[in-house]
Chains A and B, each alone.
Chain A
């Protein structure tokens, strides 16, 4: 007989091991799936995990890894603060959209003035503000009326999508676009463009911001009293109360920070890789970042690695589609397996596997 026994405290060893085991298990199960689809599993796994970093075209893919990982890390860092304190912002996708809309609107308002020193910093502020304000809606509703921030933040994603569509068709539409939806291309507007800092490297200001966020989050969580409050509230809300943590302020802080970071990610994306506000500007970074946050154990360094890994499965997955003819759904299933195995093996962090008969109490 096999049974699970709860550990007195979560095992630190397992909490580090599970992501690695999950990756290995995903490779095995995914390889099996690829084999069933009639593809060589070794080649497929190599195409996904190896070629983007070390293969023939790695000089291009490495940069793309940063482009893809940047927004994921930036958003996930913000989310992880709230998740640690038990505050669930599920609507980062909406805050990401609003950041992009606000930031792009600021940039477009100045068009065609050439003043990068003024326009770009203002756009960054606008982006952060857009995400922050959008996250304040569930925040204030929670602190004032005790509504559920999970539902409110999630539903506001759909509102944000409608606003995005309206902006691309109306207020922010490119007046020279022959009636087609979508704003001017910000990448072609020198003062607003968030181009690669070094051509071909993929490193743009959003990636820089992601790295800075990782460092700040690390310092905050390990050294600053606010980080202590966040961790304390997550681990023991009662103790936090006795320690004088104001729960409402903490809620607003966590939601506001994650909103602002998601907004920044949106701004850097719209001014850089995406280039313009369009109806389907958002492609799910805000939701994928939730996976990244958990895959990274809500730890800043872990999130950094998890963001890069997630980006790798996207980039490699696309490469496998084009070069091996794998269907898109197989790649999505592959990514799903990663989360599935992570959650499955996570059991061992809190439980111990015991062989033999359960001792009845």
Chain B
């Protein structure tokens, strides 16, 4: 037993000393990115990679970037991060919810390396979290969808039943319903962030079911292709997906991580980096609404843009009461807006959505 603790001590010292070796005073700042999908997914990971390129562009030879794509969440993610830290990364962005525990574990072993975890809620002295208020963009999409649907059926391809995804569904539904009281929301859960075949199947199933507007919270462009084939409309997700415009893609939500990544890299360069929790939306440009194409009538387009601007200016909150939960109980009273805490843990549908959140 004693021998084991001694050996453990030696190994721990080795691990600690290499963390010092990892951080270097001069020379370029090394920034690492861990991606859940391939950089060519055309959606989520693609946009994070655009952020990496923007960091390179902004700092030139003052930074060095590394990335690893298609990293499974779990033990493999932990290794990918450790690897980067060992190879001298100063700042590591881990860009998927499932990297939360691995990020915290690795960060504990490398106190001098800064970590930034996207969409999670666990922080430490050297771990920040950041996310975007995608639900603000969903409100604009919901508005357009409610106006554009002729069958009054909107389809939603959902990935995992986590609060971020549920928020998006609720926000889109509330704003579609506002402009079209007859609207129905059909949600399909595919349990993946990136699987073109599954996403295409989900889109086809929705369309066969009479849906004529497809929203997606998955990362590939497969639903766009399915929508194009069926002649219905869709929205770009995470990335603009402009190549599918003017139809089926009539608009999009763009995650613009570049300014955040540049600011955080700058903070490491300046030595001012601190652990923070960032949740930005349309107002700072972290969430952008992609160009609304001519397939959308001019008046609808103008309304959607007005909605976008009102959210961006802080004049309107997408979750403003009266809003009831699905079971009919009151969530927000008239005029009340949702707190960030409520939104962060949202685990229920709002009134009017049919079906259950899987569990």
State the A residues within 8 Å of B (CB). 57, 59-60, 64, 67, 161, 165-166, 169-170, 173, 178-181, 185, 197-201, 269, 273-276, 278-281, 283, 315, 318-319, 321-323, 325, 327-329
Contacts and interface: CB of A to CB of B under 8 A. Distances in A.
A37 to B, nearest CB: 14
Contact of B11 (A165, A181, A198, A273): A198
A60 B32 contact: no
B168 to A, nearest CB: 15
Contacts of B80: 318, 322
Interface residues of B, number: 46
B79 to A, nearest CB: 6
B160 interface: yes
B311 to A, nearest CB: 24
B69 A328 contact: yes
Contacts of A199: 7-8, 11-12, 15
Interface stretch (B199-207, B275-283, B339-347): B339-347
B163 A180 contact: yes
Contacts of A283: 72, 74, 76
B4 A198 contact: yes
Contacts of B15: 60, 199-200
Interface of B: 4, 7-8, 11-12, 14-15, 18, 32, 38-39, 66-76, 78-80, 82-84, 86-87, 97-98, 101, 121, 160-163, 191-192, 344-347, 358-359
B98 A60 contact: no
A325 B32 CA distance: 12
Of all A-B residue pairs in the complex, the 5 with the closest CB atoms, nearest first, are: A200-B11, A273-B75, A170-B359, A179-B347, A169-B359
A261 to B, nearest CB: 19
B83 A59 contact: no
Contact of A322 (B39, B83, B163): B83
B15 to A, nearest CB: 6
Given A200-B11, A275-B101, A280-B98, A319 B83 contact: yes
A190 to B, nearest CB: 15
B210 to A, nearest CB: 26
Contact of A328 (B70, B86, B191, B344): B70
Contacts of B82: 60
B295 to A, nearest CB: 35
Nearest to B89: A322
Nearest to A329: B38
Contacts of A67: 75, 79
Contacts of A201: 11
Nearest to A162: B191
8 contacts: A165-B191, A181-B161, A200-B15, A273-B74, A280-B74, A281-B74, A318-B76, A318-B83
Counting chain A CB atoms within 10 Å of each CB, which of B11, B38, B346 scores highest? B11
A283 B160 CA distance: 17
A179 B163 CA distance: 7
Given A200-B15, A327-B69, 17 more contacts: A57-B83, A59-B14, A60-B82, A60-B86, A178-B344, A180-B162, A181-B160, A200-B11, A274-B74, A279-B160, A279-B191, A280-B98, A322-B68, A322-B84, A323-B87, A327-B38, A328-B70
A200 B78 contact: no
A170 B345 CA distance: 15
A179 to B, nearest CB: 4
Contacts of A321: 68-69
Given A318-B83, A322-B68, A322-B84, A178 B75 contact: no
Nearest to B75: A273
A34 B309 CA distance: 49
Counting chain B CB atoms within 10 Å of each CB, which of A274, A322, A325 scores highest? A322
Contact of A198 (B7, B32, B160, B345): B7
